[in-house]
Structure 1
Amino acid sequence: MFSMYKGCLFIGTIMVCGMLYIFGSLDNYEYIKNFFRPSSSRIKNYRNVSNIIVESGIMFVETSDKVEPTPLTVCSVESAAWLNPEKRIYFFMKEFSGNLTQYPQPDYAGIPLLSSISNVDVLPLNPTELFEDTPLIAWYQKVNPNAERYWTHVLADGCRLALLWKYGGIYLDTDIISLKPLPFANFTCLEDGSFFNNAALGFHYIHHNFLLDCMKDFVANYIGHVWGQQGPRLITRVLKQWCQSDNPSAFTGKECNGISLWVTRRFYPIPYSNWGSYYNHWKKEDIERYFSDTYGAHIWNYMNSGRKRKVTAGSGSLLEYLFQMHCPTTYKTLVQ
């Protein structure tokens, strides 16, 4: 009993000395004080992407010149964050400086809202740095963005591959509202009867060979003016090789060489041709039944780019319901 008492006393002494040492340094004291400060008041300042440690998490990318994200984008990030609290959520923005103090309220709403969520990091996106040590760097150094018809989309196609290859995790488009917690696995999802989309991809460990094959195909078969050539068409081309089949959709609901090929309803329950349904009125019981097997609802915002339809408070639309249920802070702040 006495020896146990001495052991406990010894351990306690070490712990006290350790705490005195930590708090004896002003820098360490400031770090601890900031770490336990509520997330809404914690200012994260990322000036150099090289100094950021990216864990395996859920990633979103904004490759346009926008600095203020749309309500749909904010909703997508928020919904992923609240449903996956144990994971880091990364929102990479090409035009974001990395200094949150440059985007104060009320001039900016989206960035302050997202940065207040404890497991969300808003980060600058540097494509040159991201593509280093990947097959995409040679393409990026030669391509002329001004001559590209779908530049922001093609750049996003490349960024998601490089991010997943370097860091692992899950990539989601900024118009996918998460409805359920996401399992971390190697997966892609069938969009329709023939193509697998790249709007939702998961590869839970770094340097996966499938992603390396995708980046090589991206460069070898690059056609910038063909919609989806570096996106769904690319994923489907590489799957044909990976599965050794001209019809990889036959593996839907199964695994193909270690990659789960998920059924369409996981992310694309409403096809792009019927995208307007998100702005129609739905009954609650119909929504719960229809989306019961869905991890994330792809809203097909590109189809809306010419019409610019928005979620509005009191409309009773399906999209309003998804905002209310899965990104309530975004709904309250940016919609109501």
Structure 2
Amino acid sequence: MILMHKGCLIVFITGVCALLYMNWNMNSIHLIQSYISKILPVKEKATSNVSTPAMNSRIMFVETTDNMEPTPLAVCAVESAAHQNPDKQIYYFMKGFSGILSQYPHLEYRGIHLLTSMKNVVILPLNATELFKSTPLKSWYLKINPEKEKYWIHVLSDACRLALLWKYGGIYLDTDIISLRPLPIANFTCPANRMAVSNGAMGFLNLNHPFMWNCMEDFVANYIGHMWAYQGPHLINRVLKRWCNNENPNDLIGKECNGISIWIRNKFYPIPFPAWKRYYDSWKKEDIERTFSDTYGAHVWNYMNSAKKKAIIAGSGSLIEYFSKLYCPIAYSNLIQS
């Protein structure tokens, strides 16, 4: 009889725990659904393939310019993430996108329609006013004058990725990262060089992660918009030093600190930014396999390329063309090869 009572008690406790987990999971789902309902018209959702994402299974991209058509590289980045992570929902937030797909003719907006045809990709308007509500970023955004900001597009992107990870949880990737392998479920940051952790790829799986809140508070309290990377990689390093109680970021690489893994550089940045032109050189296959053997996504440093305007050229034999053909074949055949 006693054993029977104990068995019933175990079953009861297990059931209660399961209900609590399901409720917490649904809170995360409801947050994204609430955001979608506020920024999209009721009659027509953004891509018609919006589905309920599973816990910890979303990858997010952000476009903070007013461009209404993503670049071929951005399409490649999103497509490669979708192909390599078929179990994850891919969200692409675009500031210039209205949310009404019928406003975008196929011939003029091929990139948008290519992405929306993928079953696990959703394109959403980026509504910063709505996104920053209930975060420390709200007061900053209401008083900032974008016309006086030197790096506004980049600073806004820095802010948006923090708010998205805080509110919804998941993985953030820059739109110049070509995914080469499936991403593991983990809370992570990754250094771009020996002395600085970057914010180009970050994973904070649980909504309301305190590290993200600390980042948003630091973003506002120590705001310096005219200094390149100060609100991005430098901010992550400042907060990480306090989080880990360690003033030397190099000591943290390859380790875990208070629940956050600091991955080695090769996970996303096997080619450092001063050598970004190497992506436009031709490579031997064995050199590619050796250099990128431990890489989840290749960050191709598109900002460094903004003045040179090097493109992915079909038939060039470049490394970036090799990646495009292999990891984003739809973008390659429709936007690059054509």
Relative to the length of structure 2, the TM-score reads 0.84
CA distance in 1, matches of 2:92, 2:197: 24
Secondary structure of the 1:89 match is strand
Q: Residue 104 of structure 1: CA displacement?
A: 1.9
CA distance in 2, matches of 1:113, 1:104: 12
Higher mean displacement: 51-60 or 238-247: 51-60
Higher Cα Rg, which structure: 1
Q: Residue 89 of structure 1: CA displacement?
A: 0.1
CA distance in 1, matches of 2:125, 2:85: 22
CA distance in 2, matches of 1:129, 1:210: 21
1:261 aligned residue: 262
CA distance in 2, matches of 1:203, 1:304: 29
Secondary structure of the 2:122 match is strand
1:107 partner amino acid: E
**Within-5 A mapping of 1:140-151:** 140-151=141-152
2:53–2:88 Cα contact (<8 Å) kept: no
2:45 aligned residue: 46
CA distance in 2, matches of 1:79, 1:121: 14
1:293 aligned residue: 294
Structure 1 segments of 4 or more deviating over 2 A?
44-47, 51-56
1:144 partner amino acid: N
| Uncovered stretches (5+) of structure 2, i.e. residues with no partner | 1-42
CA distance in 2, matches of 1:311, 1:165: 34
1:319 equivalent to 2:320? Answer yes
CA distance in 2, matches of 1:121, 1:52: 9
2:163 aligned residue: 162
In structure 2, relative to structure 1, the CA distance for the partners of 1:52 and 1:314 (3 Å cut) is closer
1:59 aligned residue: 60
Q: Residue 45 of structure 1: CA displacement?
A: 3.6
Q: Residue 52 of structure 1: CA displacement?
A: 8.9
1:34 aligned residue: none
2:284 partner amino acid: K
1:306 aligned residue: 307
Q: Residue 94 of structure 1: CA displacement?
A: 0.4
CA distance in 1, matches of 2:159, 2:53: 18
1:271 equivalent to 2:311? Answer no
Identity of paired residues, percent? 62
1:184–1:203 Cα contact (<8 Å) kept: no
CA distance in 2, matches of 1:188, 1:144: 30
Deviation readout 1:174-201 (Å, 9 max, x if unpaired): 0000000001211000111111000000
1:244 aligned residue: 245
2:39 aligned residue: none
2:330 aligned residue: 329
2:121 aligned residue: 120
1:60–1:91 Cα contact (<8 Å) kept: yes
Q: Residue 269 of structure 1: CA displacement?
A: 0.5
CA distance in 2, matches of 1:178, 1:100: 26
Secondary structure of the 1:197 match is strand
Secondary structure of the 1:155 match is helix
Give the RMSD, CA atoms, in angstroms. 1.6
Deviation readout 1:246-285 (Å, 9 max, x if unpaired): 0132121110111000000000000000000000011112
Secondary structure of the 1:303 match is coil
| Uncovered stretches (5+) of structure 1, i.e. residues with no partner | 1-43
CA distance in 2, matches of 1:54, 1:181: 17
CA distance in 2, matches of 1:98, 1:90: 13
**Within-5 A mapping of 1:51-130:** 56=56, 57-130=58-131
